[in-house]
Chain A
Amino acid sequence: MQVSGLRGKAAIVGVVDAASPTGELELTGRALEVDMISKALDDAGLTIADVDGVTHTSSSMQLAEHLGIHPTFTDSTSTGGSSFEVHVEHAAAAIAAGLCEVVIGVYASTPRSDRKRPRGGAGRGMPPGGMGPMAEWEMPYGLQAPKGAYALSASRHMAQYGTTSEQLAQIAVSTREWASMNPEARFQDPITIQDVLDSPMQASPLHLLDCCLVTDGAGAFVMTSAERAKDLKKPPVYVLGAGTCHDHMMISQMPDFGTTPGVQSGKKAFGLAGVKPGDVDLLMGYDSFTITALLHLEDLGFCEKGEGGPFVEDGKTGPGGSLPMNTNGGGLSYTHPGMYGMFLITEATKQLRGECGPRQVEGAEIAVAHGSGMVLSCMSTIVLGTEASL
């Protein structure tokens, strides 16, 4: 890691702080944070609209949602009192690397005046967003987390684009075909579209077999510099491009239920990699639900918006198809321990090394690992390639 790569690449350009002789401030919680951010930006001659990077000690995603911005750099690293120094460090690296241009950091805590606040979630010991907007605006209504949120997206996609339950089911069927070639997969027996439609409805229009598994699972990866990687045991799998974007945290703030921030993360990752969807040999697309995978196909540009249903109909994402997707059997049939993104990376790497036995995608040079966080909230796209792809 070259420290010199950071030198002179980023600077602090605006600051503010607030305190008072009474020991109390008028505002509290998120409102106080927004006030501080506005004033620091004002100090720099910038506005919130200029911000494309957010750091916070508890949830950079919740803060960005509150501000109504869609950052391409996000950091919720929390190390206690030194968190803000860490945020400055990460932000400098991100700026130097070209991930973003304007990053904010903020802190607000009002333990003294909180003693007088009778109600209000932002009081005593609560995070700045209080109980959080999800607890306030969504949880009272019995939305199953996360299933209900995906059902709302699927329902809207079907109404808007004519996507059918049969088309969604085809994704589960093709994914199961891959799983039949993975001896470690939770489920390996083939299924039919009818099996999916006959499985119990969970939250309409999603059936049981439209939903991912709940299983144990684990994984890890190691990265190093390209130079160093040349001398190691296995053929290197290079990061060709990467991109991240979140545009909401809770489903009711999703700008368009039929489109994810994968549009932005994918564009960024493909752009940095100099790769087009047509160049991709393997897509590892987070399949928490069938609708999730379908949205990835559209948003990453493998087909037009709204065409995901017809696109998957002929089984082209299954074995022998033109776009192998989730070759390990995915979250639908292989494993889903809760946060499945690790398995996108491990399978893509194994495929690019040619280690996948009967399910090996012949001659795979370029793979995409596309992760989805929370409820279609934060998308992160990594383009990986073999030495030959460089």
Chain B
Amino acid sequence: MTANPLPVPAPSPNFDTQEFWDAAAQGKFLLKRCDSCGVIIWYPRFVCPDCHSTDTSWFEGSGKGTIYTYTIVRKGQGPYKDAAPFVVAYVELEEGPRILTNIVECDPESVSIGQAVEVVFQDAGDGAALYRFRPTET
């Protein structure tokens, strides 16, 4: 079974996150590191949620991770009204953080916890891009 194409909503950047979305539009997946304690911060923000330092810097992440948990949505809402079934998952990145996303380019029924995935960027129009993940080729 092939999944339906998903809508690609444009991101809504903030003062703290503009740089992340600008890079995403260039096909780069940025992460923020705390320069004080070294923790990798997700979602990107002005303050380290671990040691509360405001000394942070961006770096390019590997874009690879594994599925921590997921759900196959059977009834979409809003722009996703006709998109079901589709997968919403929480991906644990190689660098540590867990992020919410969709798993695309695969049969939803084939998805499993622990599966290896990698980032893909989809055109959201107006020069913007949205990140999603797909199973890693083995």
Contacts and interface: CB of A to CB of B under 8 A. Distances in A.
Interface string A125-144: 00001110101111111111
A255 to B, nearest CB: 10
Interface in B15-41: 15-18
B41 to A, nearest CB: 9
Interface string A241-277: 0000000000111000100000000000000000000
Contact of A257 (B9, B12, B79, B90): B90
A60 to B, nearest CB: 16
B50 interface: yes
A257 B100 CA distance: 13
Contacts of A252: 43, 90, 98-100
A66 interface: yes
Nearest to A258: B69
A200 B74 contact: yes
A121 B13 contact: yes
A390 interface: no
A137 B41 CA distance: 14
Interface string B97-138: 011111000000000010000000000000000101000000
A148 B74 CA distance: 10
A68 interface: yes
B20 to A, nearest CB: 9
Contacts of A253: 43
Contacts of A203: 71-75, 88
Interface string B45-89: 111111010100000000000001111111111111001001011
A303 interface: no
Given A31-B46, A140-B11, A67 B52 contact: yes
Contacts of B86: 142
Given A68-B50, A121-B13, A151 B100 contact: no
A119 interface: yes
B47 A66 contact: yes
B88 A148 contact: yes
A356 B80 CA distance: 44
Contacts of B79: 142
Nearest to B84: A142
B14 interface: yes
A216 to B, nearest CB: 22
A34 B12 contact: no
Contacts of A232: none
B17 A136 contact: yes
Most chain A beta-carbon neighbours within 10 Å: one of B54, B69, B130? B69
A209 B18 CA distance: 42
Contacts of B100: 137-138, 141, 143, 251-252
Given A66-B45, A152-B88, A141 B101 contact: yes
Given A152-B69, A152-B71, A119 B13 contact: yes
22 contacts: A27-B15, A30-B16, A67-B47, A67-B49, A117-B15, A120-B14, A121-B14, A135-B12, A136-B43, A137-B100, A141-B100, A141-B102, A142-B7, A143-B73, A152-B89, A156-B90, A202-B74, A203-B72, A203-B73, A203-B88, A253-B43, A257-B90
What are the 10 A-B residue pairs with the smallest beta carbon separation, nearest first? A68-B49, A151-B71, A142-B80, A156-B69, A48-B52, A31-B46, A252-B100, A130-B14, A140-B9, A204-B72
Given A30-B16, A156-B68, 7 more contacts: A38-B47, A66-B49, A136-B17, A142-B7, A142-B88, A201-B72, A204-B74
Interface of A: 27-31, 34-35, 38, 47-49, 66-68, 117, 119-122, 129-131, 133, 135-145, 148, 151-153, 155-156, 159, 200-206, 251-253, 257
